[in-house]
Amino acid sequence: MVSVVGIRTRIEPPRKRRKFYDTRSFRDPSFMYFCLSMCFGFMGVYVLYFYVELCATQECHMSEGLAPCTLAMLSHAKCQVQKARPVKWIK
């Protein structure tokens, strides 16, 4: 809170009000490739989290009461592996 007192605006706000959403940025091919790659990248991350419970019940025959806890169990197992195998370059 103390640092907020000393903050001042360095750039003046624009005099003309801009549009909330600028569609001209999608005309740039490199930006479009970036948007598509981020979309597919995040799909690859979140699909795993979404289907881990479904896979646990159908493929691994886990009870439906225990299946929602699989993500927490995987996270805990990852922490235990990291404790057992510390990174050598951190001193």
Positive or negative, the CA dihedral 63, 60, 48, 90 is: positive
The number of domains in the chain is 1
Residue 4 lies in a domain: no
Query: Does 79 have pLDDT greater than 80?
Result: no
Query: Does 3 have pLDDT greater than 80?
Result: no
Residue 14 lies in a domain: no
Residue 30 lies in a domain: yes
User: What average pLDDT does the chain have?
Assistant: 80
Q: Could you list the residue range(s) of the whole structural domain that residue 33 is in?
A: 24-91
Confidence tier at 75 by pLDDT (50, 70, 90): confident
Residue 17 lies in a domain: no
Provide DSSP, 5-17: HT----SPPPSSP
Question: Is residue 53 within 8 Å of 67, Cβ to Cβ?
Answer: yes
Per-residue pLDDT tens over the stretch 12-50: 777 888 788 888 888 889 999 999 999 999 888 888 777
Average pLDDT, stretch 5-10? 74
Q: Which two tokens stand for residue 35?
A: 């948007």
